[in-house]
Amino acid sequence: MHGMQLVRPGPQHLAEYTAALERGWSADNLRGAVAAREELERIAADPAAFLALMDDPEALGPPVTLPDGTVKPRVPSLRRWMWADGAGGGGFAGTIGLRWAKAGAPLPPHVLGHIGYAVVPWQRRRGFATQALAALLPLARAQGLASVEITTDPDNTASQRVITANGGVLVERFDKGAAYGHAPGLRFRIELQP
Ligand SMILES: CC(C)(COP(=O)(O)OP(=O)(O)OC[C@H]1O[C@@H](n2cnc3c(N)ncnc32)[C@H](O)[C@@H]1OP(=O)(O)O)[C@@H](O)C(=O)NCCC(=O)NCCS
């Protein structure tokens, strides 16, 4: 099995993260290259500020742009990076993020789930997304969440396997709303151990 750890992003990780963005990869599945360029600009302007906002419990980061261009305020979030061990090519492998509403409120409808993840194409199918989700769930619990919702596209079977391997149960098929072109989504829930 390939090994991976979640790391809190630090200065020592930034060069590899930037290199992945420059290769055209982005953690934003919907806004892709545009989102990658925006992040590269933020890193170039102030790398320390970019890293500081990887833990953003007060939602101080920039507002969020949805696929139709709508801009919404950010919710509290934290981001961790997947770091592969040496066997088979180590280093930056992907990101996983947790977002939540303040004071136990439900997520606003435009926030599609508590957790999002993306693995760089050259590190896929090594179990990293499955391991990363398992490692993130205790952090969600530590934020006081009793369960998390994760949404996927109906045809994203890889992501669905990541969720079900971590105890996720399908809740519903839903309409993502106007900002997402009314695309259909699947909503899963994972109950967290107290
Ligand atoms: C979805 C994604 C995160 C999976 O990452 P990964 O590290 O390759 O996933 P894993 O190696 O943990 O694989 C999980 C399962 O999906 C399967 N899988 C992975 N890629 C697959 C593919 N392209 N087609 C079919 N099954 C696939 C694996 O075989 C594994 O199944 P198993 O548990 O039955 O063995 C990755 O493909 C990705 O970044 N995709 C683009 C972004 C994205 O879709 N993010 C999720 C949004 S909800």
Ligand 1 pocket check: which of 156, 162, 188, 189 to mutate, most ligand atoms within 8 Å of Cβ?
A: 162
Structure confidence at residue 126 as a pLDDT band (50, 70, 90): very high
Closest residue (by CA) to atom 5 of ligand 1? 129
pLDDT higher at 34 or 154: 154
The predicted model scores a pTM of 0.95
DSSP H or E stretch at residue 164: helix 157-165
User: What confidence score (pLDDT) does residue 29 get?
Assistant: 82
141: pLDDT strictly greater than 90: yes
Per-residue pLDDT tens for 25-64?
999 888 888 899 999 999 999 999 999 999 999 999 989 9
- The count of structural domains within the chain is 1
Reported as a single tens digit per residue, the pLDDT across 78-119 is: 999 999 997 667 899 999 999 999 777 889 999 999 999 999
DSSP states of 121-155: GGG-SSSHHHHHHHHHHHHHHHTT-SEEEEEE-TT
Which residue CA neighbors atom 3 of ligand 1 most closely?
118
Give residue 76's pLDDT.
96
Residue 180 sits in a domain whose CATH number is 3.40.630.30
Distance 17 CA to ligand 1 centre (A): 20
Residues 6+ apart with CB under 8 A from 73: 59, 63, 64
Assigned token pair, 186: 């699947």
* Atom of ligand 1 lying closest to residue 93 CA: 7
CB neighbours of residue 129 within 10 Å: 26
Please tell me the number of Cα atoms within 13 Å of 120 on its side-chain side.
23
Q: Which atom of ligand 1 is nearest to the CA of 94?
A: 39
Tell me, what's the pLDDT at 194? 77
Contact 93, 25 (CB under 8 A): no
Note down the domain range covering 45. Answer: 4-191
- Which ligand 1 atom sits nearest the alpha carbon of residue 156? 44
Please report the pLDDT score of residue 88 as a whole number: 60
